[in-house]
Amino acid sequence: MVDVAEQTLADIGEFGLIAELTKRFPQGEQVLVGPGDDAALLRIRNGHVVVSTDLLVEGRHFRRNWASAADVGHRAAAQNLSDINAMGGRAHSLTVGLAAPADLPVRWALEFAEGFAEECSLLGASVVGGDVTRSSEIVVSVTVLGSLTQAPVLRSGARPGDVLALAGRQGWAAAGLAVLGRGFRSPRAVVTAYQRPEPPYDAGPAAAAAGATAMVDVSDGLLAEAGHLAAASGVAVDVTSSSLEIPEPFLAVAAAINADPASFVLTGGDDHALLATFPGDASLPDGWRVIGRVSEGEGVTVDGEAYDGPTGWTHF
């Protein structure tokens, strides 16, 4: 009997691939109709529905020699699940579009699906459908749906007098990318962080319950996302550099490549930490730490001064 994982996508065909992928996506209780029909049917309880879509493009967002198929699956799921987290919600359903070369081994697609499903299982979220097609490189498109049991926490709610706070690890993926970009694989801790982010999935709902006034997922860089929050809220944000954690592996990477270790934290993305503002007298939930302040004005500063250099990832 032929092992389907040893075939290519051209061998197995579109519907054969879909059949194999859907075996790897268990369905949660909110799914009334899952993969296999023209659309999924979901049960929606009290509250709001929140939706987001993201893309991963081979050569732009990942390289197969830097991350395994399962790693790419984890990353694709994490960046979408985190968007719902940043609204104060909880993701429950996803659809996945996969475009890939015809000669891509089926094994890669199956391992991608397994990594994706494993990340979704952290929240009990289900893959309820999607699509596959041919492409010159791998492209992954994910749409995620989630629920809110309270009003969403937007980027536009920060007010002068609020504190700026961070939840989750920050800068690890950026340090890992710097290492991989120079052909190395150590320190292993930062490389692993780049390959498989660990978003603080409980921090978003906890922040919303604690009265967070604004929140954003740190996907493109802490200062860049702080700038989005400041612009949407019409306020100024100042980051206190002494409040930032600079782990030892960052020092080793920075020394090796002649960089400022703080730059990984200030401008790195892909860890999918959360950045939020809270009223100055609020009691922050576990896992959140104050890293700055909000005031009248505009823009983002570090220790009261403009930051000299790129503030994060730019797509174009």
Q: Read off the pLDDT of residues 250-291 as tens digits, 9 standing for 90 and up.
A: 999 999 999 999 999 999 999 999 999 999 999 999 999 999
In a domain, 262, yes or no: yes
Do 46 and 117 lie in one domain? The reply is yes
Residue 61 structural domain: 4-148
Per-residue pLDDT band at 229 (split at 50, 70, 90): very high
For residue 230, being part of any structural domain is answered with yes
Write out the two tokens for 286: 């576990």
| Alpha carbon distance 251, 259 (integer Å) | 9
Question: Measured between alpha carbons, how far is residue 166 from residues 147, 214, 265 in Å?
Answer: 23, 12, 11
Indicate whether 285 and 190 sit together in one domain.
Answer: yes
131 and 209 together in one domain: no
| Binding site as annotated, residues for substrate | 61, 270, 313
Q: What percent of the chain has pLDDT over 70?
A: 97
Q: How many domains does the chain have?
A: 2
How many Å is the maximal CA-CA distance in the chain?
A: 69
Residue set of the binding site for Mg(2+): 38, 52-54, 83, 131, 217, 220
154 inside domain: no
Q: Which CATH number goes with the domain that contains 39?
A: 3.30.1330.10
Does pLDDT of 93 surpass 80?
Answer: yes
Residues tagged in the binding site annotation? 38, 52-54, 61, 83, 130-131, 155, 217, 219-220, 270, 313
CB 228 within 8 A of CB 155: yes
Residues 177 and 275 in one domain: yes
Question: Is residue 258 assigned to a domain?
Answer: yes
Binding residues for ATP: 130-131, 155, 219
Least confident range of 15-19, 21-25, 74-78, 301-305? 15-19
pLDDT digits (tens, 9 = 90+) for 103-152: 999 999 999 999 999 999 999 999 999 999 999 999 999 999 998 888 89
DSSP 66-116: TS-HHHHHHHHHHHHHHHHHTTT-EEEEEEEEEEE-TTSBHHHHHHHHHHH
Separation in Å, CA 270 to CA 77, 158, 170, 190: 12, 23, 9, 12
Measured CA to CA, the distance from residue 80 to residue 185 in angstroms comes to 26
* Domain membership flag for residue 155: no
- Domain boundary among the residues 148, 180, 201 is at 148
Residues 244 and 122 in one domain: no
